[in-house]
Amino acid sequence: MSFATTAAVVGSAAAAKAAFDPETGQTTQTQQLDPAQQAMLREVYGQGRALAAQPFVPYTGARVAGFSPDQLRAFQATRGLFETGMQYDPMAGLAGLAQAPAPSLLQTDISAYQSPYTQQVIDTTLGDIRRERDIAQRRAQESAIRAGAFGGSRSAIMEAEATRPYVEQAARTAAGLRQAGFGQALGAAESDIARQMATRGFQRGVLGDISGLQAGRLGLLGGIGAQQQMLQQRALDVPYQEFQRALAYGPQQLGLLSAAAGQPFATSKTTGYQPSTLEGALGALDILNQPFMKDYFGGSSGTTPPPSEPVPGGGSGFNIGGFLGSDKRMKEDIKFVGKEKGHNIYTWNWKDEAKQMGWDKFPTIGVLAQEVMKYMPEAVMKDENGYYKVNYGVL
C-alpha cells in the first residue's frame, strides 16, 4: 500500500471518527489578562461598587404648575356666563309654541276690525241723497201745480217717479259702503293673523338662539373641568413616576456595578468544527473510494459502471462509483435520528442476509433507498440481486 493510499485512508477514518465522536477536532484556548489591566479593572470595579451603594434620593420639589390668576378669572367669568344663561328654559317656550293652536279667521271677530266711523259715513251719504230726493220731490209738486194736478193721483205718480232714482241710489250706496267696510275689516284680521304667525316664528328663533348659547356655555364649562382634571392628573402622575424611578433604582445600580466589572479577568473559548451527521457518514463512506479498498473487495480499479447498470463484484454489496447498499429490506431496528439537507437520517442494524453480502462493513447510519427513490430517483439503482443502492455522493 503506498503512502498516498495510507494518507487517504487515515483522512477518511478521521472524518468517520468525527461523525461519531463529537469531541474530535475541538480546541480549547485560554486567555489571561495583563496584571496591569487587571489592577485597572479592580480599581474601576471598586469605584462602581461605591457608586452602586449610594442611596436613592427622591426629588421633593414642586413639579406641577398651578393655574395663573388670569386663568382663574377666566374660569370664574365662564361660570358666571353659564349660570346667567341657565336662568331661561327655552325648551318650555318651544313646547308652548308647539302646543298653541294656529290662529284662524273662523275664530276671529270681524266686527272688532270694522271702523267705528263706517255707519257715520253711511248716514252722512244717505242724508245727502235724501236732500237731493226732497229737492226732486218739490220740483215734481211744482210741476203738478202748474199742470193743475196737485193733490191727485197724478201728482203722486209724478213725485214717485221723481224720487225713485234717489231711493235706488241710497240703497246701492249703503250696500257698497257696508261691503267695503267688511272687506277692509277682513283684510285687517288677516294681516293680524299673519303678524301673530311671524311673531311666533321670531319667538322660536330667539328660543333656539338661547338654547345654542346655553350649549356653548356648557361646552366652555366642560373645557374648564377638563383643564382642572388634567392638572389634578398631573399632580397624581408625579409621585407615581417617582415611585417607578425608585423601583428602577436597584436594577440601575446593579447595571452600574456590572459595567464597572468590565471584561472578565480570564476567559476561555472552545473552537472547532463539528461535522453534520450526513457529512460524517459520507466521510466514513469515502473509504470505499480508495484504490486499496477496491482491490480488497475484488472490484476493478478501472472505469466504474454507470449508476443505472447492475454493480459487478460478486457479493461485495457496494459500488465503487459512490453507490452503497441501502435497501430497507436489508435493515432492522431502524430508528429516525433527524434531517440533513432535506433527507431523513436513520440508524439501523444489518440483517443476516446483508451480513452475508458484506454490507455489515459499512456504517449503520444514513438514508433509506426506498424513500430517496420517491424524490431523487437518479440517486438510486437496483443491483443484480434486486436490492436498492444509493449514491451518497449526490445527496
Whole-number mean pLDDT of the chain?
A: 75
- Angstrom distance (rounded) from CA 253 to CA 53: 8
- Cβ neighbours for 263, distance < 8 A, ≥ 6 positions apart: 33, 41
> What is the reported pLDDT for 30?
62
> What is the reported pLDDT for 275?
54
Contact 366, 294 (CB under 8 A): no
For residue 391, the cross-strand partners are 323
Task: Please indicate, yes or no, whether the overall pTM of this predicted structure exceeds 0.85.
Answer: no
Cell numbers 443505472 correspond to 308
Q: What is the mean pLDDT of residues 371-392?
A: 92
Confidence of residue 378 (pLDDT cuts 50, 70, 90): very high
Decide if pLDDT at 173 tops 50. Answer: yes
pLDDT, tens digit, 9 for 90 and up, residues 80-112: 888 888 888 888 888 888 888 888 877 788 777
Q: What is the mean pLDDT of residues 196-204?
A: 91
Of the listed ranges 132-136, 190-194, 329-333, 389-393, the least confidently predicted one is 132-136
pLDDT, tens digit, 9 for 90 and up, residues 385-395: 899 999 988 88
> What is the reported pLDDT for 281?
54
Identity of residue 82: F
* Domain locations in the chain as residue ranges: 9-23+276-394, 69-240
Of residues 250 and 245, the one with the higher pLDDT is 245
* Residue 250: alpha-carbon gap to chain centroid: 38
- Angstrom distance (rounded) from CA 174 to CA 181: 11
Q: What is the mean pLDDT of residues 359-382?
A: 91
pLDDT, tens digit, 9 for 90 and up, residues 289-321: 444 444 433 343 333 344 434 333 333 333 434
